[in-house]
Amino acid sequence: MFQAKLMQWLGFGHHIQNLRWFSVLLEGTPGPDFVPGVKARDETFAGVPVRVYEASGGEGGLKRGLLYFHGGGWALGSAKIGAYEKDCRILSKELNAVVVSVEYRLYPEVQFPVPYQDCFAAAKHFLSAEVLSRLSVDPERVAVSGDSAGGNLAAAVSQEISQDSSVKVKFRVQALIYPALQALDFNTPSYIQNSRGPVLPLSALAKFWMQYLGVDLSLLDQVLANHHSSQQQSLLTPELRARFDWTRLLSAKHRQNYKPVVADKGLDGILEKIPALLDVRAFPLLADAEVLSKCPKAYIMTCEFDVLRDDGLMYARRLEDAGVQVTSVHHEAGFHGCFSMAALFEVGKRAQKHYINWLLDNL
């Protein structure tokens, strides 16, 4: 991070763009033989770049389809390099699936709602009868998935597709890996417990959210203190607050002895400062029960040592309350990002294996 900011100070682009450059150098790109039998090619779905992975052989006939949105705080990551390239090749092989990884646009080039719009457009295109037929994908076995910020996009797109009458083919399942689902309470138990986590500390998460939503970073301390969702914010009705009320949605095990932080002082002109404050496309956890009830069967993975743990657990509870079948998998030794570090950590290997097995059984 220091080197990236130094380069920005020296006039070499935005520090986020510099971070991307460093990540390419560190992660590299796997060669075509990284997973034998999997071919990758670049296409454009409704104007959005995607990379399509197809495994040869297998059981023949129509294949599973998996639409994947990578993580990276809506600012980092790519469908075409590093860990996500490796993961998608593995998933294509293990699931005998056509995996479509979406190269949605990122901050600082764009902000919300553009990444969401890219993902939704790619999803509608993928689910069209013509494209599914061309790719030999079974329309009854299509999933949407993503991790972290990508999990946010997968949840939001899944909600929208489930309600869109113009989309005849629906996702059979959604598989969310430590998703980011709300930014109204930065003092949930997991946010406090893991505020200094090694991969995604709370301050970094808050900055990613603020950059994505176009919020002035000078408000960081006020946002971390929940001033944006204070008692003075009449827009947040009791009904809306109940949708992210961790004191009700989390089990006693995860509530522990933490107390909710509700600020008395609010931010003046809140919708001018945070226009997307109540937009469910940004915060899928805020969707009402009727919307959630139409969503597909869900797999939600959470990790104990992750600021986003409680987002996933709360969403699992809300989906279950709405009548959706949910498999909630919690890795006690897991941490944010472990899914893409299966080659380095045993917990990542277990997480990836469990995810794959669930999709084999449910897709």
- pTM across the whole model: 0.93
Residues acting as catalytic residues: 148, 306, 336
Residues 6+ positions from 191 with CB-CB distance below 8 Å = 185, 202, 205, 307, 310
**142: which 2 tokens?**
């299509």
Query: pLDDT-derived band of residue 17, with 50, 70 and 90 as boundaries?
Result: low
Higher pLDDT, 267 or 251: 251
Q: Which of 56-60, 172-176, 199-203 has the lowest mean pLDDT?
A: 56-60
Whose CA is closest to 65, among 89, 94, 95?
Answer: 95
Report the C-alpha gap between 79 and 88 in whole angstroms: 8
The amino acid sitting at 197 is G
**35 pLDDT higher than 90:** no
Type and span of the H or E element at 320: helix 309-321
Residue-wise pLDDT for 264-309, tens only, equals 788 888 888 899 999 999 999 999 999 999 999 999 999 999 999 9
User: 299 pairs with which residues across the strands?
Assistant: 175, 327
Q: Residue 145 CA to chain centroid, in angstroms?
A: 8
Query: Running DSSP on this structure, what letter comes out for residue 235?
Result: T
**Do residues 175 and 40 make contact, with C-beta atoms less than 8 angstroms apart?**
no
Report the C-alpha gap between 88 and 249 in whole angstroms: 33
